[in-house]
Amino acid sequence: MILNEEQQAMLDGKYGEGAAYAMKIQVGIGECFDAPRMVPITRAHVALSNQAGDLWFAEKLLNAGAKCRIPPTVNPGFCIGHFTGSCAHPVSEEDAEHMRRTNAAYRGLGAVLSYNCTPYIASNVPNFGEVCAFSESSATPYVNSVWGARSNRESANSALCAAVTGYVPEYGLLLDENRKGNILVHVEANMKSDYEYHLLGMMGAKIGEGIPVFTGLPAHISPEALRNLGAQLNTSGAYGMYHIVGFTPEAPTLEAAFGGKKPQREVVITDKDLKEFEELFSDKAENGKVDFAMFGCPHFTLKETLYIAKQIEGKKLAIPMYILVSSDAAEMARRMGAYDILTAAGAELLSDSCPDQPCWHYLKGKVGITESPKCAYYPRRRGINFMIRDLDTCIEAALTGEVK
Ligand code: F3S
């Protein structure tokens, strides 16, 4: 791998021990993938997890004097103010301290403390062709596929290294030849709402490994649906990119999507596939009763928040409802009065928080309802179970306590 003068100086420690450490890791990654050189990035997103390994790495860089040249946005942990303050079920002092340390480490590194996993929709949006370093399941496919930017499927750690050095090794999805589709996915299912894109994304086992090219999808697809598709593709498999013919920028035609080559595989997805998955993936609720509803994995947008507020305005929820959003969306919901409507109905609008965090300790052993398979998938290891249904069914279940 050939480094330019500045990159070599960074590796040699002339920019400090932290930057040298980050560069050493990136050179190692580059060599694994036969990258010929490093190229500059203009933005990054770090999927911090607030877990022990993540904190260890961030503090190691910080203690070695690293500072982000490209301030990255970061993923959620949990809202420390809420879960140590007004919450009826506060976190343990140990968990609170862990989150405080995560906050201190990323602040020290110079990250943008956004604590949001959908920055590509609002606060960290690349232009077409922009080279960046995005980690997070829904983020990488979104910036590659929808915006036509270029990012490999970074880990939280490699994205943080990129933010520190300002460079990434040039390989994989940064190169034209690796951005062509190789699996043709005929969608015959009725994609009537954003929810079906969650289910379509969970078809990874059927789609197989590669870059899927979807046909048969509606002419208009919402940002929320595209967010759902990417999030679930990386829950059921590992996908850095997809194409939607006639919709995503690098797939104006089928031929362009495949770079003139024939697809290696063809797959058909039907309503039956989606329905079977929904049933198979849902935990059973006794007598159809659920204990809580949770939305926002990935984080809900303002539009979705306003939609729920409209559906439950003037009513009382039978069970708790948690809506996870970015701090921007939460603030806008406050200004617009939706926060008051949600709170009056008994819902909690939370920023900075993710379902896969220790703050939900009090939901252990309970069965929730959500529209997101990813929301159901991760908390299971914490003993929290979920049924998955479309958003309207979930809202209705929160109002009655039962799934119809
Ligand atoms: Fe976001 Fe956490 Fe879900 S990072 S996608 S809310 S698991």
**Contact 74 CB / ligand 1 (< 6 Å):** no
Co-location of 69 and 215 in the same domain: no
Q: How many residues does the chain have?
A: 404
Co-location of 207 and 335 in the same domain: no
For position 321, which CATH number holds?
Answer: 3.30.499.10
**Contact 328 CB / ligand 1 (< 6 Å):** no
Q: What is the pLDDT of the chain when averaged over all its residues?
A: 97
Co-location of 113 and 246 in the same domain: no
With CA atoms as reference, report the closest residue to 302 among 127, 146, 123: 123
Co-location of 52 and 164 in the same domain: yes
Q: What percent of the chain has pLDDT over 70?
A: 100
Q: What letter would DSSP give residue 362?
A: G
With CA atoms as reference, report the closest residue to 163 among 92, 111, 107: 111
**Contact 297 CB / ligand 1 (< 6 Å):** yes
Give the mean pLDDT of 377-400: 97
pLDDT tens column, 363-376: 999 999 999 999 99
Q: Specify the number of domains making up the chain.
A: 3
End-to-end CA, the chain? 59
The count of other CB atoms within 10 Å of the CB of residue 136 is: 30
**Contact 379 CB / ligand 1 (< 6 Å):** no
Domain end point (choices 176, 199, 234): 176
Taking the CA of residue 353 as reference, the ligand 1 atom at the shortest distance is 6
Residue 172 has a pLDDT of: 98
Domain end point (choices 226, 252, 278): 278
Co-location of 25 and 128 in the same domain: yes
Residue 379 has a pLDDT of: 95
For position 223, which CATH number holds?
Answer: 3.40.50
pLDDT tens column, 41-57: 999 999 999 999 999 99
Residue 231 has a pLDDT of: 98
Co-location of 380 and 329 in the same domain: yes
Q: Which two tokens stand for residue 400?
A: 């009655």
User: Strand, helix or coil at 387?
Assistant: strand
Whether residue 120 contacts residue 143, with contact meaning beta carbons closer than 8 Å, is answered with yes
pLDDT tens column, 167-188: 999 999 999 999 999 999 999 9
Calpha distance 90→77 (Å, rounded): 15
Co-location of 17 and 120 in the same domain: yes
Question: Does residue 285 carry a pLDDT above 90?
Answer: no
Question: Does residue 284 carry a pLDDT above 90?
Answer: no
pLDDT tens column, 202-246: 999 999 999 999 999 999 999 999 999 999 999 999 999 999 999
Give the mean pLDDT of 83-111: 96
Measured by CA distance, the residue closest to atom 1 of ligand 1 is 298
Task: Give residue 192's pLDDT band: very low, low, confident or very high (50, 70, 90).
Answer: very high
With CA atoms as reference, report the closest residue to 267 among 200, 202, 208, 185: 185
Its domain, for residue 71, covers: 5-176
**Contact 95 CB / ligand 1 (< 6 Å):** no
Taking the CA of residue 298 as reference, the ligand 1 atom at the shortest distance is 5
